[in-house]
Structure 1
Amino acid sequence: MENYERKIDTKLIMSIIATGIMAFTGVVIETAMNVTFPTLMREFQINTSTVQWLTTGYLLILSVIIPASSYFKKNFTLKSLFITAEIFFTAGTILDAFAPSFFILLSGRILQGFGAGIALPLMFNIVLDQVPLNHLGTMMGAATLIIAISPAVGPSFGGFIINYWGWRMIFIALLPLLAAAFFVGVFSIRSTANPVRTPFDWPGFLLLSISFSCLIFAAGASGNTGWNDPFILGAFFICIMTFIIFYKYAGKSAHPIFYPSVFHIRTFTLSVIVIGIVQFLCLGLGFLIPNYSQLVSGEKALVAGLLLLPGCIIGAFITPLSGRIMDRIGARKPIIIGNICMIAATFLYSILAQHLTTMLFVLIYTIFTIGQGFSSGTSMTNGLRQLPAKLRADGNAVCTTFQQLSGAIGTAVVSALISAEQKRLPDQLPYATMLGSQNALFLLFILACAALICSVIIFRDIKKLQRS
């Protein structure tokens, strides 16, 4: 490790912006594509369970690549990682812009997943390694803001583009932004440690890939086959067994893809669960709301996209404020307030599911995003603070992986619940979509309650440790 003085300067800010732009564009495309799904279903003659793989497949690749971020950080310079991420992401964006078929479109999304899978933890590692510790909460909040504001831009951007130029322009319009990020990143990104060559943990990587793939494939396919299908049950079984094998193997390995000892600290583990639930809720609603608006309420893509804009803008700017509050008085109040807001929003959605209007969607989603802004980045920072410094890169990999994995599952599960009702009532698409959405919203309410319970336990444990 080089003797690096932590300081906030122009290069640090620009490096966070450069890496954040790829994470930003990844989420923008992801949420913008949710608005295009009805259009793509008609153009490519596919159903809801198939089209959602544009989101789920992308998030699956993120979930597979991100666990290796700790290895990448130790073995390569931050600048070389950034350039590699840019090449993958830009290639996928160009491929999608001119995709002649759904398969090619999905292939481009997978390439984007490789790029974003490298860039997303890179941004947080820069913050963790280079920001002064007394400003860590604020800067983690600012980094999270880059991602948090993306869902506000995505659906509105997608709806506007589709309304006037068609879905392909979504990808073309982001290419100049990616080019600007490349030049800013090459100029500003610096490393705080020299690369150290260590062997790559191929067995651990393959075990995690199999486990995560089985989990996401099972969740995504359940909309067509049902949860009790032997294939679905078998995939869940393989997921659990391969993860258990990975956990035991990694505990004995000299150079695991990440150290499972991070899970020995309960406050960190519960923080990861909270982070995952918040992302599940966020992407589940990001998929559900635009599709409900178009298929049930009969709104145009532009209107459906704009539904999320006011709430996301307000919630996004809550994120750095939450980090600043954490730096001053601790993490407890913003996290608990955030969880309560998300419970209130999902409860209102679930009981009003059959009577949701455009205005109700906007108002309730604003409550949800305020909760997300208070809880998401603060929970991640608080969780990482529970780890010793030598495990924080591994902890960052775990947090970011679980966040993306939960987002993939959230999209897949919500899609599966809606698809199940659409399949049961094929001649009543609007009504079936509404019933499936109601089932999904009730599940999101239960998960929001679980996040609050985990948060209460976290701060009870922290209080006990402070007394001892």
Structure 2
Amino acid sequence: MAIIAIALLTFLGVLTETSMNVAFPTLMHQFHVSLAAVQWLTTGYLLANSILMLASAFFNKRFKARYLFFAAAFFFGVGDCICATATQFPVLLFGRIIQAGGVGFSGPLLTNLILATVPSHRLGTYLGFANLIILVGPALGPSFGGLIVNVASWRLIFWSTLPLVIILVVIGAPNIKQYAKTAKYAFNWLQFSLLSTALVSVMVVISLLAVPTQWLASLLLFWVAVMSAGAFIVVAQKPTSKHFLNVNIFRQPIFLLSFIPYVFMQFSNLSMNFLLPNFVQIVGQASPFIGGLILLPGSIINGLGQPVYGWLLDQYGGKLPLYVGNTCFLLAATTLMIWIPTLSISLILLVYLLFASGRSLAFSNTMTFSLKRLSPQVQADANAVYSTGQQVMGAAGTNVTAVLMSSVHFNLSGVHTNLIIGSRIMLGLIVVIGIGNFLCYWKLFKLSGVKA
């Protein structure tokens, strides 16, 4: 019951995140903001998630699981209220950042609870079932958001989830037990501040690329990001009694070679989830409901397939799910890159179904394959890095896609033609990522003693 309650709270966070994507054209009109600006409702949300997840290893060692669950519910509920009543875009964005605390606490808590209670040979199956609950969010989110925008108001997205948070607290809190010891550790605020500054600066720089007149601000923020990241690397190497994040995990090749494809698949996933609904609405003149509906079948397969995909990893190892999944991922991205301007909405739906199935088969199993081979002492740190990495790269994917779709301009081309060109460039980048994933998997299996 504890795992289900935490997973459902995480599901609500993912549901609101993906519901908002299809409401972007409506919000652009209501608040008079650009596509590059409105996408910060997703980018800011994911970035706030990632900053909290940076400290999840510390939270896991310092605070009881029940307190972390209460914190997740509190931030989500307060953010819900702010977003539902917002009358200005900055207030709505602030509410989304507060609401991000829900998944920021509950996501890592869910994985750490499973790692603490489930034997290694069953991890794939149990993480698959947990992901099943969470990934129903992307399946329902776009259609849920599109339907609400069509028949009511986008504000109902937030009002409708608030009572569910209260119910989950009542049901979940009494069932959450403590399986790991906690202690009073000192938090390393310096490392946390440096890394957070670097991440935020990078996201703002990417967003400013859509505004050529802001080149000086982009340059300054780029150097802030570089200097903050460099300072973090130097400080992190020094011995200290304060706890934050064990960056030495990156020195383990098995972790690094799984981390790279894991985060770039999330980059591609959020890019595709942003690109396709907005493409069919702006270029294809489809309604918000149709824009969300094209993601529904693929997202349902994405969620429902998780237990089966985890079972495949437990039974047959990593080679089958990772290679087959990435092949489907690459074929779908290539198809869209070449033919997206000529594809009907039905065909885009089918190609996305292939993309989502492949990405789902490989994504979670990439992390699980690595976690099985890491010692229990570093699993919490590895989980923190995985969780943070996927949120940061998801935010980057949304941000980069928005920039390319809104800022590619050719003098003799219309708005729709420019948007098609920008979309194709983004899809080409996803194709390159798919090729790179194969190289990482080949090396990963070689190091792990698995015949590739």
Question: Under TM normalisation by the shorter chain, which class is it?
Answer: over 0.9
Give, in whole Å, the separation in 2 of the partners of 1:373 and 1:299: 27
RMSD: 1.8
Q: Report the Cα offset of residue 78 of structure 1.
A: 0.2
Give, in whole Å, the separation in 2 of the partners of 1:149 and 1:123: 16
Corresponding letter in the other structure for 2:228: T
Corresponding letter in the other structure for 2:7: G
Q: Report the Cα offset of residue 426 of structure 1.
A: 11
Corresponding letter in the other structure for 2:212: T
Q: Is the 8 A contact 1:148 1:373 kept in 2?
A: no
The alignment status of 1:380 with 2:367, answered yes or no, reads yes
The alignment status of 1:216 with 2:216, answered yes or no, reads no
Give, in whole Å, the separation in 2 of the partners of 1:139 and 1:448: 27
Give, in whole Å, the separation in 2 of the partners of 1:18 and 1:411: 28
Give, in whole Å, the separation in 2 of the partners of 1:453 and 1:197: 42
The alignment status of 1:22 with 2:9, answered yes or no, reads yes
Deviates more, 1:70-79 or 1:125-134: 125-134
The alignment status of 1:231 with 2:217, answered yes or no, reads yes
Query: Who is 2:448 aligned against?
Result: 462
Give, in whole Å, the separation in 2 of the partners of 1:62 and 1:451: 25
Q: Is the 8 A contact 1:148 1:316 kept in 2?
A: yes
1:196 alignment partner, SS class? coil
Q: Report the Cα offset of residue 329 of structure 1.
A: 1.7
Q: Is the 8 A contact 2:47 2:200 kept in 1?
A: yes
Give, in whole Å, the separation in 2 of the partners of 1:248 and 1:136: 35
Give, in whole Å, the separation in 2 of the partners of 1:206 and 1:274: 27
Q: Report the Cα offset of residue 301 of structure 1.
A: 0.6
What's the % identity of the aligned pairs? 36
Corresponding letter in the other structure for 1:437: S
The aligned length equals 450
Give, in whole Å, the separation in 2 of the partners of 1:454 and 1:325: 20
Q: Is the 8 A contact 1:95 1:104 kept in 2?
A: yes
Query: Who is 2:133 aligned against?
Result: 146
Query: Who is 2:19 aligned against?
Result: 32
TM-score (norm. length: structure 1): 0.93
Give unmatched runs, 5+ long, in structure 2. Answer: none
Corresponding letter in the other structure for 1:300: S
2:286 alignment partner, SS class? coil
Corresponding letter in the other structure for 1:296: V
Deviates more, 1:229-238 or 1:44-53: 229-238
Query: Who is 1:273 aligned against?
Result: 260
CA 1:392/1:427 → structure 2, altered by over 3 Å: closer, same or farther?
A: same
Deviates more, 1:143-152 or 1:159-168: 143-152
Deviates more, 1:93-102 or 1:169-178: 169-178
Query: Who is 1:4 aligned against?
Result: none
CA 1:231/1:426 → structure 2, altered by over 3 Å: closer, same or farther?
A: farther
Q: Is the 8 A contact 2:48 2:100 kept in 1?
A: yes
TM-score (norm. length: structure 2): 0.96
Off by >4 Å, runs of 4+ in structure 1: 423-427
Query: Who is 2:193 aligned against?
Result: 206
Q: Report the Cα offset of residue 424 of structure 1.
A: 5.6
The alignment status of 1:303 with 2:290, answered yes or no, reads yes
Deviates more, 1:348-357 or 1:246-255: 246-255
Q: Is the 8 A contact 2:120 2:372 kept in 1?
A: no
CA 1:41/1:317 → structure 2, altered by over 3 Å: closer, same or farther?
A: same
Corresponding letter in the other structure for 2:392: L
The alignment status of 1:72 with 2:59, answered yes or no, reads yes
Corresponding letter in the other structure for 2:441: S
Query: Who is 2:391 aligned against?
Result: 404
Q: Is the 8 A contact 1:332 1:459 kept in 2?
A: yes
Q: Report the Cα offset of residue 318 of structure 1.
A: 2.0
Give, in whole Å, the separation in 2 of the partners of 1:147 and 1:222: 33
Q: Report the Cα offset of residue 427 of structure 1.
A: 8.8
**CA deviation string 1:13-67 (max 9, x = no partner):** x212211122211221111111000000000000011000000001111111101
Query: Who is 1:116 aligned against?
Result: 103
Query: Who is 1:241 aligned against?
Result: 227
Give, in whole Å, the separation in 2 of the partners of 1:351 and 1:260: 40
Give, in whole Å, the separation in 2 of the partners of 1:260 and 1:435: 39
Query: Who is 1:447 aligned against?
Result: 433
Corresponding letter in the other structure for 1:191: Q
Give, in whole Å, the separation in 2 of the partners of 1:356 and 1:95: 40
Q: Is the 8 A contact 1:204 1:256 kept in 2?
A: no
Query: Who is 1:352 aligned against?
Result: 339
Q: Report the Cα offset of residue 385 of structure 1.
A: 2.2
Q: Report the Cα offset of residue 395 of structure 1.
A: 0.4
Give unmatched runs, 5+ long, in structure 1. Answer: 1-13
Deviates more, 1:373-382 or 1:238-247: 238-247
Corresponding letter in the other structure for 1:57: G
Q: Report the Cα offset of residue 238 of structure 1.
A: 2.9
CA 1:19/1:216 → structure 2, altered by over 3 Å: closer, same or farther?
A: same
Give, in whole Å, the separation in 1 of the partners of 2:268 and 2:179: 35
Query: Who is 1:43 aligned against?
Result: 30
Give, in whole Å, the separation in 2 of the partners of 1:425 and 1:20: 49
Q: Report the Cα offset of residue 230 of structure 1.
A: 4.0
Write the mapping of 1:76-95 to structure 2, written as runs, cut at 5 A.
Answer: 76-95=63-82
Query: Who is 2:86 aligned against?
Result: 99
